[in-house]
A and B are shown apart, each in its own frame.
Chain A
């Protein structure tokens, strides 16, 4: 790891002031530190959000679940409120990486990183959640912009994510056994304004499978997907699985998610 300066702001305003050109935000460090150790990233400074009050915690009020950016995966997985309001979300958090990773990694870090095989982006896009930053509120449909790209500006900090309650939802993950990331993960949600299907792991970034959404809009049953195929064009093709295999998995997992949705 190359040298850097360590900064620990006590407020969001201080954090923004410390985020100069060469600085990077540090949350749980479960993506950033491994990347720095491999020297794939070499920020001049790290701005650690750990001491800023109000960035962590879960609130369920009315029709929304709000999760602070610094809330760790393990907290979401263990939350009775989340399990009651959106069981699929608690379940997804419990499937991220391993126990030690879940004890450190945060939802804000996962979304800002936008790894093409990460789990949280599927929930955020699948549920049509809103990502709140120190500057604005960003709809999920605008937030994710492909491989490791998001709508976030250079000194923009995610503060929380708000998830509208679906009528029913489920997440099905086909684990890549070595990395624990999703070879393919499919989040299905039936909401008041239609069915949403978000797919992670299969493409260069999380995306909505509109053909599946249309079919499920007609009938929210696994059988509705019997004759729906996902095109392999543009999907990931690597030693872990061909694009065709991933395309096939998308429909299989979507069917399982529809069957499991609650």
Chain B
């Protein structure tokens, strides 16, 4: 079995794994970080979105072995000293969630979005969140939350 080593939320982790282990399963089962959700498992919903070397990717569509040596950030890695990340705070403030199932993936995608578009307009936000499906909110408050977080972080 191959050994993988990666940095997850700032901590180095290492394990011997079956090559077919998906990165999403590695994170949830091996590392017990269950904030990363699996919604569809067919690469469509984006609930499993995490950052790999800063880029939003669907962790259900990547093998854990492909993340060997990578820097991984999950929803659990965002808060600092007990303070929510500005994106998380904006989702809370603007009711950008209802059941919350899509939220971790939404927040991770939104962070990638604001990194590339520090001052996004509504159309850009909607376009860039294409890979994340929400069955509850109708997206409206998600878009508001992302805009507010971008404004708050000085876009």
Contact = CB atoms under 8 A, between A and B. Distances in A.
B19 A98 contact: no
Contact of A4 (B19, B46, B49, B129): B19
Given A99-B130, A99-B131, A46 B19 contact: yes
A29 B61 contact: yes
A248 interface: no
B62 A29 contact: yes
B71 interface: no
A29 B56 contact: no
A1 B20 contact: yes
Interface in B107-140: 109, 112-113, 116, 128-132
B57 A104 contact: yes
Given A29-B62, A33-B61, A37-B41, A100 B19 contact: no
Contact of A33 (B2, B62, B129): B62
Query: Which of A38, A46, A99 is packed against the most chain B CB atoms within 10 Å?
Result: A99
A180 interface: yes
A6 interface: yes
Given A6-B65, A33-B63, A37-B41, A98 B46 contact: yes
Interface in A3-62: 3-6, 8, 26, 29-30, 33-34, 37-38, 46, 48, 50
Given A8-B65, A99-B56, 13 more contacts: A4-B19, A6-B65, A29-B61, A33-B61, A34-B43, A38-B42, A46-B19, A97-B131, A98-B132, A99-B129, A100-B56, A100-B109, A103-B56
Interface of B: 2, 18-20, 22, 41-43, 46, 49, 55-58, 61-63, 65-66, 109, 112-113, 116, 128-132
Interface of A: 1-6, 8, 26, 29-30, 33-34, 37-38, 46, 48, 50, 74, 78, 97-101, 103-104, 180
25 contacts: A4-B19, A4-B20, A6-B19, A6-B63, A26-B66, A29-B63, A29-B66, A30-B61, A33-B43, A33-B61, A33-B63, A37-B41, A46-B19, A48-B65, A98-B130, A99-B113, A99-B129, A100-B46, A100-B49, A100-B56, A100-B57, A100-B61, A101-B43, A101-B131, A104-B61
